[in-house]
Amino acid sequence: MTRYTGLIDQYRARLPLAADARAISLGEGRTPLIKLENIPRQIGFEGELYVKFEGLNPTGSFKDRGMTVAVTQAVHEGARAIICASTGNTSAAAAAYAVRAGVTAFVLIPEGKIALGKLAQAVVHGAVVIQIHGNFDDGMRLVKEIGKTTPVAIVNSINPYRLQGQKTAAFEIVEALGRAPDVHCLPVGNAGNISAYWLGYCEMAGIAASYSDYHQQGRFLDQPLTNKRPKMAGYQAAGAAPFLRGSAVKDPETVATAIRIGDPQSWDLAWAAQKESGGWFDECTDDEILTTQKLLAANEGVFCEPASAASLCGALRDIKSGKIAQGSTVVCTLTGNGLKDPDIIMKNGLQGLVQVPAERGAVEKVLLAHMK
C-alpha cells in the first residue's frame, strides 16, 4: 500500500503547480464523509445526510487544504514570508505550513473574540501574531495594502491557489459517493469555500465554472466522474450575513467567530456559485447554531466548532420545510473541529456533573439511573 502524503501528491495533475514545486504538506485531506444515522431518523428524513468533517485535517480545519497549495506555490516563487488576516483558523494553518516550509508567518488577528484554541496554534508554531484594534475586515484591508509594498505572500482566500486546494474536498466527496450530492450545504464567512467547492464539482463534471479562468484554469478528467452538480446552499450567522443583506455588514457579530466577517473577499465568486448551481443563501441565529452543534455531538458523536454547525442547521431547517426534498443526498461541510473553541461549550461550567462518594454503590446507582 502506498503511503498517503497529502492532497498535492494525490491531485497534483489537477492543480496549477509546477512539476518541480516541492509540496509543503502535513498529510491534509482524506477527511471522513460521515453518514448521519440518528438525526435523519429523528426528523423523518428519507434521503442520505452526510457531513464532510474537515475538522480532522492536521490543524483542525478546512484551511489546511488551501494552505498547502498556497504555501507550496509561495515557496516555489521564492517567498521567505507569508501573511494573512484571520479570525483564527487561517492563522493556525498559515503558521503550521510556514514552519513546515521554513518561512516566517505573520498573522493579523482582530482585537478580542478569537477562540483561544486557534490562537494557541499560531503561537505554538512560532508565527508573528499582530493584534489590531479592529475586526477581520480591517485586517484584510491592511493585508492587501501591505502586500503591495512588502515582499510577503498573502495566503488569504484572495490568493487563487487557496481555492485550488480547497476544491479537492469536492473531488473526495464525488469519489466517495460515486456521484455528486443533490445539495451541498456550507457555512459562509469570507465565502472562499463555497466558491472552491463549486470549482471542484464543475471539474468533476467536466464543466468550467464561470470564474475558473480567474482562479486558474480547471484541470478536467478525460472521463467526468459525475454527470450532475449539486445545488450550493450557503448559511451565514444572522449577525454577520452580508449575502442576506445585499451589502457589507459594518460591525458583524456572532458567537460563530470563524464566520464573523462582514465584507467577504469572495463576494462575486460566491454569488456566481449560488446562481449557477441553482442554490441559495440563508441565515441562522446564534441560538440555532449552538443548538445544532450540541445536537450533532449528542446524537452522532461529531464535535464541530460553532461556525461549522451553521451548515447542518440550515440543512435541517430546509429539510423540515421541504425546500430540500425527501430522498435527496445532502452533504454538509463541517469546517472546523469543536476543540478549536471549547469555551463555548464550557461557558456555563461543567453541566451535568454528578458528584458522589468514592463508594461502589454510589457509582453503580448513577450508572443505573443513566443507562440507556
pLDDT confidence of residue 235: 98
298 CB-near residues (< 8 Å, 6+ apart):
none
- Residue 215 pLDDT exceeds 60: no
pLDDT confidence of residue 228: 94
pLDDT confidence of residue 138: 92
φ and ψ at residue 223, rounded to 5 degrees? -125, 115
Alpha helices in the chain (DSSP H): 7-11, 38-43, 63-76, 89-101, 116-124, 136-149, 160-166, 168-177, 192-204, 242-245, 267-277, 286-300, 306-321, 343-346, 360-370
Percent of the chain with pLDDT over 90: 82
Tell me the residue type at 202.
Answer: C
Tell me the residue type at 220.
Answer: F
> What is the 8-class DSSP label of residue 4?
P
- Residue 218 pLDDT exceeds 60: no
Section 2-17 average pLDDT: 94
Mean pLDDT of the chain: 93
pLDDT confidence of residue 67: 98
pLDDT confidence of residue 91: 94
Section 136-161 average pLDDT: 92
Each residue of 311-329: pLDDT tens digit? 999 999 999 999 999 999 9
pLDDT confidence of residue 219: 66
Q: Cα–Cα distance between 112 and 278 in angstroms, integer?
A: 37
- Residue 348 pLDDT exceeds 90: no
Q: Is 98 helix (H, G, I), strand (E, B) or coil?
A: helix
- Residue 334 pLDDT exceeds 80: yes
Q: Residue 280 is inside which H or E element, if any?
A: strand 280-284
Task: List beta partners, residue 284.
Answer: 237
Each residue of 73-90: pLDDT tens digit? 999 999 999 999 998 899
pLDDT confidence of residue 211: 84
pLDDT confidence of residue 161: 95
Section 279-293 average pLDDT: 97
Each residue of 226-279: pLDDT tens digit? 889 999 999 999 999 999 999 999 999 999 989 999 999 899 999 999 999 999
CA nearest to 107, candidates 78, 140, 77: 140
Section 138-158 average pLDDT: 93
pLDDT confidence of residue 216: 58
